[in-house]
Structure formats: C-alpha cells, structure tokens
C-alpha cells in the first residue's frame, strides 16, 4: 500500500473530533420513552465508518472534503483490505463510487491505492453531518437522512 494520509498498513485514521463522534454513536443511547429499550445508533465503528462515508458522499456529491486536524487510529484496516466476501464487496462498491465521482484537485483520476483516503474524507464529512442531525433532533435515522439529502440533490 502506498503512503496514504488516512491509512497505513494496520489502521484507518480520523480526526480527534470525529473519533469522539464515532465513540458516542457506538455506545448505548438512552431511550427517550421509559418504555422503549436503550439503543446504539451503530453496532461498531466499522459500521459507523461506512455509513458515515455514504452520508458524506450524499452531502458532497463529487466534491473533495478538506480534513484539518490531528489524525489518530479509528479502526483496523483489515476490514478494508480483507479477502472475505463482505470485505471485497464493500471495497469494490466504494472503489467504483470513488472512481466514478471523485478526482484529485488537479483533476487527475483517483488510483486504486488512493481510494481509502477518499472514503476516509467522505466519512469525516459524514460523521459530522450525523452529529449535526443528532444534536438537532436527538436521534438519527439513516434512511431518512439519505432521503432528505437526495431531495436536496434534485
């Protein structure tokens, strides 16, 4: 793997602020209604990372997101580089999405070994969007958010 800003041979990185959001959304949230069960917005950070990347893509639609701040370990990279069917399918889907919709600032195409950096940029944008929605509504509905972002695109 070439030198990437957001990944190395063992981990995918995120900013300190994003790490706080991932931690928050992967821990149990108290139900508003005492008759409802407590819940997690995401089962784990891998799920949160990929969901945030999808939200980030819907938010950015081909624009690159400029990430500022210190980077630290978010998740192990094995889920991205793995050879299992689920890993391969996720990697192939994001590779297709990134190569179809994103370019370098100098308009050069994204190479295979650079895709993870773009996915991490999308996730940085997406986790911030999720946090903003959660703070304003005290909940997060993945499908509802995607539907709202798609309406804005039309």
Give bridge partners of residue 11 from the DSSP assignment.
Answer: 76
Q: What is the pLDDT of residues 126-148, one digit of tens each?
A: 999 999 988 888 778 777 877 77
19/98 Cα distance (integer angstroms): 23
Residue 154 reports pLDDT greater than 60: no
- Two tokens, residue 144: 């509802």
Q: How confident is the model at residue 115 (pLDDT cuts 50, 70, 90)?
A: very high
DSSP string, 5-56: SSB-SSEEEEEHHHHHHHHHHHSPBPPSSTTSPPB-SSSSHHHHHHHHHHHH
Please report, for the chain, the start and end positions of each structural domain, with discontinuous segments joined by +.
11-153
Burial readout 79-113 (b: 16 or more C-beta within 10 A, e: otherwise): bbeeeeeeeeebbeebbebbbeebeeeeeeebeee
Please tell me the predicted confidence (pLDDT) of residue 2: 54
Residue 77 reports pLDDT greater than 70: yes
The pTM (predicted TM-score) of the whole model is: 0.86
Overall average pLDDT of the 37-54 stretch: 86
103/106 Cα distance (integer angstroms): 8
Residue 108 reports pLDDT greater than 70: yes
Residue 1 reports pLDDT greater than 70: no
Q: What is the pLDDT of residues 20-30, one digit of tens each?
A: 999 988 887 77
Lowest model confidence (mean pLDDT) among 77-81, 110-114, 150-154: 150-154
């Amino acid at each position: 793997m070439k030198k990437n800003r957001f990944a190395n041979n063992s981990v995918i990185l995120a900013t300190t602020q994003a790490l706080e959001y991932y931690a928050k959304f992967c821990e149990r949230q108290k139900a508003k209604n005492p008759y409802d069960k407590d819940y997690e917005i995401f089962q784990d950070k891998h799920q949160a990372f990929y969901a945030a990347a999808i939200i980030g893509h819907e938010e950015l639609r081909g624009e690159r997101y400029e990430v500022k701040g210190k980077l630290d370990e978010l998740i192990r990279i094995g889920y991205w580089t793995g050879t299992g069917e689920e890993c391969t399918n996720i990697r192939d889907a994001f590779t297709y999405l990134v190569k179809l919709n994103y370019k370098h600032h100098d308009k050069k195409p994204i190479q295979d070994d650079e895709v993870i950096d773009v996915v991490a940029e999308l996730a940085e944008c997406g986790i911030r969007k999720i946090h903003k929605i959660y703070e304003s509504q005290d909940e997060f509905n993945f499908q509802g958010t995607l539907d709202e972002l798609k309406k804005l695109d039309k």
